Amino acid sequence: MNFKQLEYFAAVAEEGSISGASRALHVAQPPISRQLSLLEDELGVTLFLRTNKGVALTEAGRCLYQHSRQMFQSLRTMADSVRDVEAGARGQLKLGVIYSDVQTATQLLKQYHAQYPQVELYVRMGAPGDLLDDLGRGELHVLFLRSQSGRSFGLRERVLGEDPLELVMCPETDPAPGQDAVPIQALRNVPMCLLRSDDLWNYSRDLLEECRRAGFAPSVACHCYDTPMEMQMVQAGFGVGFLPRSIVAAHPGSPVYTKPVLEFSAKSYPILVWENDPYQSGCVKRFLELAETLGGTL
């Protein structure tokens, strides 16, 4: 059986005669007659009662006609879906986001979803190392990470914006109350909550270096494995943190705020990271294109 036979069959069923279908399909009458016979032979079933006034569906023919309608519908759906997937309008997009990038990610994804509402979004939050592992295994397509120093991952990346690194504090731990910026000497005896120093994405490495140059080593009250925990510790009054400024936007209603270090400025850069694969799926391509377009507007 093939689609052509089904198509001929349906036309005959609708026209009520083989010659009618012949005219409708712009095909000679004998081929249709013949394909119909072949179809009947293959199914082992009589589909039409032939008379000299046309043909009439048998019960079995009616059954086949109903199924054939569904079949054609399925066929159209199939082709459309496949084209949508290729175009990136349908499919799955799996994203990894580090905590510091939640703001950036949700903003970008909102725009993406508005443009491609049919794409299924999968998002996971995690530590950069874990996310990179998943990217390598192909379980994630794109990551929202931070590049502090323009370090390369052997992957493709794109900078989405910039975000100054600042001290994070509550009123009771503010080392320089009433001032817009904190002189570095004010940190001399201030306990700090910093990301643990062996983390690749250790924002505070350069700050610690700067402190050493200023003649002191800050006291690290707590080594944090991840940003959310660092925020919690700062909020609990354990000490002063050092994080991208936008992190406080993710904590509305929190007493936490940031101030720059007076003599030292550093920035972190939100970036997208993805495998350098020329055969990315459509929706990944579209997503990366959108990120390219929106560029620094985030």
Partner DNA sequence: TATTTGCTATATAAAAAAAGTATGGAGGGC
Partner DNA sequence: GCCCTCCATACTTTTTTTATATAGCAAATA
Answer with the entry of DNA, a second copy, none that 53 interacts with (C-beta below 5 to 8 A by kind): DNA
Whole-number Å distance between alpha carbons of 90 and 85: 5
Nearer to a second copy by Cβ, of 28 and 75: the residue is 75
* Cβ 170 vs Cβ 237: under 8 Å: yes
Radius of gyration (Cα) for the chain, nearest Å?
33
Total residues found in the chain within this entry: 298
- Interface residues for a second copy in 11-70 (CB under 8 A)? 43-46, 49, 58-60, 62-64, 67-68, 70
Whole-number Å distance between alpha carbons of 266 and 211: 14
Whole-number Å distance between alpha carbons of 231 and 169: 9
Residue 60 token pair: 């079995």
Whole-number Å distance between alpha carbons of 186 and 170: 15
Does 202 bind DNA (CB under 7 A)? Our answer is: no
Answer with the entry of DNA, a second copy, none that 74 interacts with (C-beta below 5 to 8 A by kind): a second copy
**First-to-final CA distance of the chain:** 56
Nearer to a second copy by Cβ, of 62 and 213: the residue is 62
Does 35 bind DNA (CB under 7 A)? Our answer is: yes
Dihedral angle at the C-alpha atoms of 113, 114, 117, 120, nearest 10 degrees?
Answer: 10
Does 43 bind DNA (CB under 7 A)? Our answer is: no
Smallest separation (angstroms) from a second copy to the CB of 115:
18
Smallest separation (angstroms) from a second copy to the CB of 280:
9
Smallest separation (angstroms) from DNA to the CB of 56:
9
Smallest separation (angstroms) from a second copy to the CB of 107:
26
Binder of DNA out of 6, 11, 13, 36 (CB under 7 A): 36
Binder of DNA out of 3, 34, 162, 289 (CB under 7 A): 34
Alpha-carbon distances of 44 from 23, 40, 139, 149, 179, rounded to whole Å: 27, 6, 49, 74, 92
Cβ-proximal residues to 229 (8 Å cutoff; 6+ apart), any chain: none
Which stretch in 22-30, 149-157, 175-183, 247-255 sits in contact with DNA by CB under 7 A? 22-30
77, containing H or E segment: helix 59-87
Binder of a second copy out of 195, 283, 288, 291 (CB under 8 A): 283
Cβ-proximal residues to 179 (8 Å cutoff; 6+ apart), any chain: 259
- Interface residues for DNA in 48-87 (CB under 7 A)? 50-55
Applying CB under 8 A, the residues found at the interface with a second copy are: 1-4, 43-46, 49, 58-60, 62-64, 67-68, 70-71, 74-75, 77-79, 81-83, 85-86, 90-91, 279, 281-283
Q: Which residues bind DNA (CB under 7 A)?
A: 2, 4, 12, 17-20, 26-31, 33-38, 50-55
